[in-house]
Amino acid sequence: MTTPATASNDTKPMPQVARGLEGIVAAATHIAEVDGEKGKLTLRGYDVSELSGKVTFEEVCYLLWYGKLPTQAALSSLQAEMSAARELPAPALAALRELAPSAEGMHILRMGASMLSIGDATVDSLDMEENRRRAARLQAQMPALVAHAYRLKQGQEIVHPKPEHSLAEGFLYMLEGTEPDPARVAGLNAYMVAVSEHGLNASTFAGRVIMGTDSDMVSALTGAVCALKGPKHGGVPGPVLKMLQEIGTPDNADAFIRNEMNSGRRIMGFGHRVYKVRDPRAELLSDAAEKMAQTTGDDSLLVLTKAVEETTVRVLAELKPGRDLYANVELFAALILHAVGVPSELFTPIFAIGRTSGWTAHMLEQIEDGRLIRPSAIYVGPRDLKFTAVDQRV
């Protein structure tokens, strides 16, 4: 949305200000296309629905970093590289032990992400191949940060990773200390594929801005984590689950939604800055939840979530016609992550694990671009003020 800036004291016309940079094209990218009108998400030329249920998260990482799906040899090489990189540096583990009792969630992840430069002698290098390897290392270490910090917060000992585990399997193993059920691993893999990349969103843009200064990938990753922490961006799946639990049964959905809207409160998991139709990632996660329910035999939360979606879309169309408010990824993210069995306070940190693949892909692209990102601002404050001594000010 562009709005004219407040008039200044001079007579020259004021330019339009794009609040929130809405409508501004700030990058030409090969990585992803988010089509809000059609409800379509494309990753490196593939509609995300073409990948869902067919690829591992590691394959999507390779696709985002290298621009193509890997051969079996390339995938095996990447898996081995990431497996070898999962252990955190000893000083970072020591710091986590000190910090985890006093911090949690995205706060501890922010601190932990900043420590991933420890032991990286070439962290400031802008060489592309070095940074592709760095992207793989950071992606491998993010699950360890989240799992280790959570266990330490609970007064439990760290569970070190196993080399044979996939990223999703390894995260659940490090979090719980037992071999996870394959259905849960499949559900988490589907979730991370769905959230791996989504264009020039706030956290991705933050990472590109930092990388555009010729800073380093660890600094850019830390900045992206900071941006994701905000509830307007990545902090909603937890409240979505709370909302679903408050509704309880499908019969309660209509009254609950109407009461929330009449009270002026936002309906969690609905509406999107870009999508004017149903978020395509919601469909992917709904399908993944269906598969999990068939395996576990428990579809109660899935049935409730679908009823809440149907009711909310109907009530929103009635009370806010023309607003184009539909389910976004967070509605079904809450469903799938709860079904996987991870604590709700880890929903946003797990989002960060999945999105690290897209963040680092954009950082690599920004290194290739080499352009400092430096938008302009229009001054709309007073002018020509005169100095007065401190004892004369009122």
Q: Which residues have a Cβ under 8 Å from the Cβ of 30 and sit 6 or more positions away?
A: 44, 67, 365
Report in angstroms the alpha-carbon separations of 44 from 31, 32, 53, 88, 358.
5, 6, 17, 31, 11
Alpha-carbon distance values, 386 to 63, 190, 383, 389, 393 (Å): 59, 62, 9, 10, 11
**Which residues are tagged catalytic?**
272, 330
CA distance 229 to 352: 9
- Establish how many alpha carbons lie within 13 A of residue 36's alpha carbon, considering only the half-sphere containing its beta carbon: 13
Q: Considering only CA atoms, which of 184, 325, 192, 342 is closest in space to residue 268?
A: 325
If phi > 0 it is left, if psi is from -120 to 50 it is alpha, else beta; for residue 325 that is beta
**Over the range 53-86, which residues count as b (16 or more CB within 10 Å of their CB) and which as e?**
eebbbbbbbbbbbeeebbeeeebeebbeebbebb
Please state, in angstroms and rounded to a whole number, the distance separating the CA atoms of residues 28 and 110: 28
Torsion angle of the four alpha carbons 81, 86, 90, 91, in this order, in degrees rounded to the nearest 10: 100
d(CA 19, CA 27) in angstroms, rounded, equals: 18
CA distance 208 to 377: 19
Cβ proximity of 166 and 189 under 8 Å: yes
Angle, CA 115 vertex, CA 111 and CA 116 arms, to 5°: 125
Residues across the chain: 394
Q: How far apart are CA 381 and CA 166, in angstroms?
A: 55
d(CA 143, CA 270): 28
CA geometry: angle 343, 344, 347, nearest 5 deg: 105
- Tokens 């193993």, located at residue: 173
